[in-house]
Structure 1
């Protein structure tokens, strides 16, 4: 056999070997390890938080705390997850962050909203929350509802960028030019005191924590705040849930089953009550993520 033929034959053999090897390797590459499988193996899950008390934040000792992370810990303990690692991002960066695989689950006060459902997967609700206003002492503009802000020609309202509150304000007819956006509630409070806005609008529980921490007599919660109403005239609530990547349907299934169990056993109330939640802040157990995702 000539040298050329030997070389060609060797190439064919090597090519066949490469094909044979790749046929063994490719299926394992194609089956990428899912989040549920990985976190169960590692015993660790990365949680995206927006540093908002009492929902999800990192305490002075560097540990992740808050009602939502504690619920996550209880839900995943039966699956072998023993550690939660915090990734702090601005609220507006939570959805881009989880889709960029910076973390595995969103543990914040993120309401289920149709537009968000297009980008991520939600579990069923873990809470039901109302909202509220905080103002300078005496409520100089005299506003007690979003409708009052909309009707007041020069009242400026502050809230968090990317939050459901922005949608509420738009739907109630508050012009964009009178909405001042902040990274979080702490910055909004500073903006209120600096005169950048006349009222700040946040989930009621977050406002409670904010004002308790600030302990500032120049700022007060608006008493008698009027919640938004549904078409039937009932108070409208936000439904915070855990956010996941679209591919993590198995993780959603496990979490949804756990949420139902915690709710029926009373364990959910036991966990969240440590952060100021009461029975009124529990999900009703009827509304599912799929229902709330519908426009």
Structure 2
């Protein structure tokens, strides 16, 4: 059984390694789960975020790496059970000169410019907090946004707190600022996604995820990429 899975450039979850092969926390998770589900070959397809959902819908590949599972996205694809829960945050210049600690502070800061990847949940969060369209700068790929931040073209880049820690760790000029979790104490969850007609593969993946998530091997693999125990624990109770 050959499985084709699409990914994008977003460390530490998935990116293209120095040997030109897909690597990252969710790539390892996909490898373990798909092999256990009977896959004899796994092919990785690099794409853009905006192509993930349409690509799997059109059958260009069989599944996507985990992304945030939202009600809107669930209208178009079928999601697996959650594999992580992650809060948002910003990457800013070291010292955070404009004191940007939340979407609300961006909205309240005249001239503040926020970089976002189109289609990601950070756009909706920013708009809900009152960030104006004139303050938002869109980038197709994460590396482009980071380059713009380093060049001073934007003041902050919005992504997951985990991913931002990696970016800041690789750039001494930058630092990561995690957002506070909402009043309900819940953070958005991420999951693999599939064509809605591919029920068999979805069920096979879910079966293996229920067995594997939270195991010692799973925790060890995720820790290599900076994913904390708490970012795993919160989804373990919800496994069904």
Please report the TM-score for the alignment, with normalisation by the length of structure 2.
0.91
Between structures 1 and 2, the one with greater helix share:
1
Matched, 1:285 2:240: no
Report what 1:162 is aligned to.
Answer: 119
Specify the alignment match of 2:215 in structure 1: 265
Partner of 1:99: 57
Q: How much has 1:47 moved relative to structure 2?
A: 1.2
Q: CA deviation at 1:91?
A: 0.9
Partner of 2:192: 242
Structure 2 unaligned blocks of 5 or more: none
Deviations 1:117-136 (A, max 9, x none): 00101001111111211112
For residue 62 of structure 1, give the secondary structure of its aligned residue in structure 2: coil
SS of equivalent residue, structure 1 residue 240: strand
Gaps of 5+ in 1: 1-39, 290-295
Task: Tell me which protein shows more strand as a share of its residues.
Answer: 2
Q: Distance in 2 between matches of 1:265 and 1:189?
A: 34
Tell me how far apart the structure 2 counterparts of residues 82 and 52 of structure 1 sit (CA, whole Å): 26
Which whole-Å deviations, capped at 9, do the CAs of 1:149-207 have from their partners, x for residues lacking one?
12223211112111111111112221222111112221111111223211111111211
TM-score of the superposition, structure 1-length normalised?
A: 0.75
Counterpart of 1:189 (choices 135, 143, 146) is 146
3-state DSSP class of the match of 2:20?
coil
Determine the C-alpha separation between the residues in 2 that align with 1:277 and 1:147.
26
Match for residue 204 of structure 2? 254
Which range moves more in the overlay, 117-126 or 235-244? 235-244
- Tell me if the contact between 1:64 and 1:84 (Cα under 8 Å) persists in the aligned partners: no
Tell me: CA distance 1:96–1:192, structure 2 relative to 1, closer, same or farther (3 Å).
Answer: same
Alignment partners' CA distance in 1, 2:216 and 2:204: 18
Q: Distance in 2 between matches of 1:137 and 1:270?
A: 30
Shift of residue 288, structure 1, vs aligned partner:
6.8
Counterparts of 1:271 and 1:219, CA distance in 2: 26
Contact 1:130/1:204 (<8 A) preserved: yes
Q: CA deviation at 1:274?
A: 2.0
Pairing 1:216-235 to 2, within 5 Å after superposition: 217-222=172-177, 225-229=178-182, 233-235=183-185
Matches within 5 A, 1:68-147: 68-108=26-66, 110-147=67-104
Asked whether the equivalents of residues 7 and 14 of structure 2 are also in contact (C-alpha less than 8 Å), the reply is yes
Contact 1:127 1:281 in 2 (8 A): yes
1:185, 1:210 within 8 Å by CA — same for their partners in 2? no
Partners of 1:51 and 1:189 in 2: how far apart? 12
